[in-house]
Each structure stands twice: as structure tokens, then as C-alpha cells.
Amino acid sequence: MVRRVVITECAAITPVGYSKDEIIKHLIEGISGVKKLRIDDLLSDYIHCGVFGTIDYPIAYDFKRQHRKTMGPVSYYACQVAKEVLKKSGLNNDFITSGKLGVAFGSTHGSPSVQREIYKTFFSESRSEFASIGAVDYLKSMVHTTAVNITKMFGITGRVISSSTACTTSSQSIGFGYEMVKYGLQDAMLCGGADEYDTTTVAVFDNLLACSTEFNDTPHLTPRPFDVQRDGLVVGEGAGAVLLEEYESAKKRDANILGEIIGFSCNNNGGDLILPNIDGITQTIRLGLKDADIGADSVDFISAHATATKMGDVIEAQAMGRVYGDSPVVTGLKSYMGHTMGSCGVIETIITLYMMHEGFIAPTLNLDTVDERCAMVKHAKTLIESNIDIAAIQNFAFGGVNTCLILRKAGP
């Protein structure tokens, strides 16, 4: 039996705000969340990129010590958005702990700041420093730390999925959660992703010559998806969570339905692990539409992956052109906050839901002159008042992993 799957709550911590109102304000007013990279012991002439999508506002955590002791920064983010979603959802504790609720949550590589301290200790010549490694340090840094800290904090006993596929981590989490509910394996799923601030992530992409370097003194002017002056991605931090429920059950309990997931696809390019592939991306888009059982002309808006890398934007634009032509409006939301890594898919899904609800499409920030190689799609260059009934969220990751989520506006 195939069931309808709806999103009934969401929460996000992003470089452009914490609340829905703050995020919408940044989008409408064109305010960037990209700041200068903080100086630490990794910053040297080795790292050329000097910008980061930064969360620079305080967050009032009130977690009990029994939960805090196994949490690194990435799990703080994850548990905070999970807590807000569950609190707003109205689900009672009996349901949350019954096994009917599962978790699909991940990060790019656990907590890199904790991992860095562990490695420093390992390579220390002092045996006393080596002894300082705590029993819980692995639990703070392991790749599935976000998912299991959420289950521990809230007593969730259902299925646990912890995707760790870099840029597609949280879009996979939502997609796999959607399939769990759709096919009756869980009645609800708490889905999302998180990544924390750490310069090791910047160093990785900087070493691959994928980071923006030309706007270190003017951080708000980068990244520049689809623009002729784009010079690479900007690493960011953040977290997001969505609650997925079966439609009839959500309706029966009078839940606040934000939108419906009607399609999901995930596939691999089957080739190069770094370079994007137009055939693979095209197939992913088409499979998403097939799963949703809609034509390309039904889609009103596309949240593009749009990292602002030289070739990534070109290939994505050409793939969209193959499938959609110039019909849907396209925005690169990373232009506001950088690439929030494992959390980008869920954050971009939440922002798309906000725009659906508020009736507008935010423009791609810093898109002054469209690269002619990306000009085959309809770019949002200014704020557009528009009713979005159906939207697609696209994300692509190193390793050749591609995802596409299809959302429909809340309705009967």
C-alpha cells in the first residue's frame, strides 16, 4: 500500500537566520550570511579561501548533561532543530518512543573539530596528553553522531538511517524517510542533516581548487551561482530538520501540513567521483518527475544545487535545460549562505516551503551577469511574487551521488 507523505513541521539553523521571519527577511532584502573566515591554527598561506557561511548568533541550548556529554558541535545543532520540530509537532511522548517514529539524519563527517583534537592528541609526544582522550570522544565525532544523539535525547526507538554523502546527505535523509513512510515501514520520520564550523572542511575544498578566493575582502559578494564572475563554492555551517508523516494520520490529528513530498530520486553517475555528469543529473531529474507522476511542465520552481563552481553550474544548467527548457524559475539558494554541506538539502527544502507559503521566489544573490553557458534556464535575478504549487530541490555530491526531491504545496 502506497501512502501520501506530508511535512508537518520544520526547523533550521542557518547563516541567514534561525527563525522563519529572519530567514525570509534575509531572502527578501538580499542579505548574505557569508562572513570572513575565523582565524585558527589551520589558517595559513596554505588556505587561500577567506570566507565562510557563518552562524554568528547565540543559540540557547538547554540540554541535560547526560545528553551533552556525547555531543560535539554538530550534534548540538542537530538536536536543537530536532527538539524544536518535536516540540511544535504536538506528538506525544508515547508516540515518539513507540517505534512508529524513525530518524534519518546525517552529517558530512561527524564532528571535525572533535576529530581534530583527537588527532592532535594522538600525535603528541606527551603520554599524559594521550590519556586525556575521553571515552565519549568517539561518540562525539563518529559519522552517525547526529542521528544517534537525537534518538538518545528523545527516546526514539524506530528505524535509524544515517546518510553521509556530503552534499546530498540531508536530501537523501528526507528521501529515505519519505520512502519509509510511503511504503508503511514507519508512520513518521524525523529527517535532516547538520554540519559545523571547521576550517578542515574549507582546507579540503580549497586544496581541490573548488573554493572562492577572489572575494575574501567582500564576503557578501560570493558565492555567485551561474554568474560569469563565480570563482568557487563557499563552505558554510547549519542544520535543518523536517517531520514527515502519513497524510491521513496527520490530517486526523489536525497537524499543521506545510507541504507534501510527491517524488524522490537518487542515483549515481557511475564514473568520476568529483566531476559532475550531465547524463547522470538529467536521469536523476527525470526519475524524480517519474516518481511524482508529473510532467516537467508542472514544476513552477527549482532550487538548484548551484555551488558556484566553474563547471558544476554549467552542467547543472544544461541538465535542467534538457528536461525543463526555460519554464520553471531557478534560484541558487547557496548564494545567501554558502554551501552548508550535509545540511544544504534540508535547509533548501525548508526555505522552499517558506517561499511556497509566502508566495514569492527569492532571486539568486550576486547574479549580475548570467554565464551564457548557463543561460538556457529561467534565472530569478530579482524578487518575484509567485505562487509555487510544485517545486524541485536538486542536490549533487562528490562520489557522483545525485538527488531530486519534488514538493507540492499543502492542500487537500
**What pLDDT does 39 receive?**
78
Domain 5-409 has CATH 3.10.20.740: no
- For residue 187, what pLDDT band results from cuts at 50, 70 and 90? very high
404: enclosing H helix or E strand: strand 401-409
181 Cβ neighbours under 8 A, 6+ residues apart: 3, 5, 187, 188, 189, 244, 245, 246
- Classify strands 188-195 and 238-246 as parallel, antiparallel or unpaired: antiparallel
Rounded to 10 deg, the angle between the 344-358 and 169-182 helix axes is 70
For 213-261, write each residue's pLDDT tens digit. 999 999 999 999 999 999 999 999 999 999 999 999 999 999 999 999 9
- Spatial CA neighbour of 177 closest among 237, 266, 248: 266
- Going by the DSSP 8-state scheme, the letter that residue 193 receives in this structure is E
Measured CA to CA, the distance from residue 365 to residue 27 in angstroms comes to 9
152 CA to centre of own chain: 23
Residue 197's identity, in one-letter code, is Y
Least confident of 132-141, 143-152, 367-376: 132-141
Residue found by looking up cell 527563525 in the block: 19
- Spatial CA neighbour of 13 closest among 298, 262, 343: 343
What the block records as the C-alpha cell of 171 is 536530501
User: Is 124 a residue whose pLDDT tops 80?
Assistant: no
Query: Could you tell me which residues are beta bridge partners of residue 105?
Result: 192
Predicted TM-score of the model (pTM) = 0.96
Domains of the chain, residue spans: 5-409
- For residue 128, what pLDDT band results from cuts at 50, 70 and 90? low
Measured CA to CA, the distance from residue 267 to residue 285 in angstroms comes to 10
Question: Residue 93, class by beta-carbon neighbours within 10 Å (0-12 exposed, 13-18 middle, 19+ buried)?
Answer: exposed
Measured CA to CA, the distance from residue 377 to residue 141 in angstroms comes to 41
Measured CA to CA, the distance from residue 378 to residue 257 in angstroms comes to 29
238 CA to centre of own chain: 8
For 150-184, write each residue's pLDDT tens digit. 999 999 999 999 999 999 999 999 999 999 999 99
- Spatial CA neighbour of 238 closest among 37, 11, 14, 10: 14
**What pLDDT does 120 receive?**
78
